[in-house]
Amino acid sequence: MPKFIKYSDKYREQVEYKIFCKKLFLEYTSRSLKMKLFSFLGIYKNYLYLLVDENNDKVIGSVLVIYRLNRKSLGKNWWLYGLHINKEYRRSGYGVELTEKVCNLIKDLGAKSVLVYVYKDNFKSLELCKKRGFEIIEKSKEHTIYEQKHLLELQF
């Protein structure tokens, strides 16, 4: 039975370069004054969550949740970034489980929706998001619509 936990440095070696996007990981773990100020002001907050195998304490997967101020509308949005399942655990339902757990957490924190960008050729991620109830947004005044990516939203 996997456990769903907030990131701790105990798992750094397993997460840092192996299963999580380096740029996002370094941004998440940044202790810079700028990031501390943004977090304090509620402009930008990062939350990294892990799904960990209780039997061997190995990280199954990770997802970065970002709560940030929208530059166009000045509204605040919840985003999923870099959802990743370690290769040895793929195609076992862990992607669905991690997505469910993190979306339920975001909903419990009072969010009305959560957004994610998925590359149009990433069929597995698109299938996962659609299973969970995410819908593709074709036009948006608040968010950029990219040619190579779908913008998806799950409303609670």
**Inter-CA distances, 146 with 24, 44, 69, 81, Å:** 20, 22, 20, 16
Instruction: Give residue 59's domain range.
Output: 2-155
Structure confidence by residue, pLDDT tens digits, 52-98: 999 999 999 999 898 887 665 556 789 998 888 988 999 999 999 99
Compute the average pLDDT of residues 117-136. Answer: 93
Which positions ≥6 away from 33 have C-beta within 8 Å? Answer: none
Please state, in angstroms and rounded to a whole number, the distance separating the CA atoms of residues 80 and 66: 6
Number of domains in the chain: 1
Inform me whether the pLDDT recorded for 5 exceeds 70.
yes
pTM: 0.82
Compute the average pLDDT of residues 21-39. Answer: 65
CATH no. for residue 56? 3.40.630.30
Structure confidence by residue, pLDDT tens digits, 127-146: 999 989 999 998 887 777 88
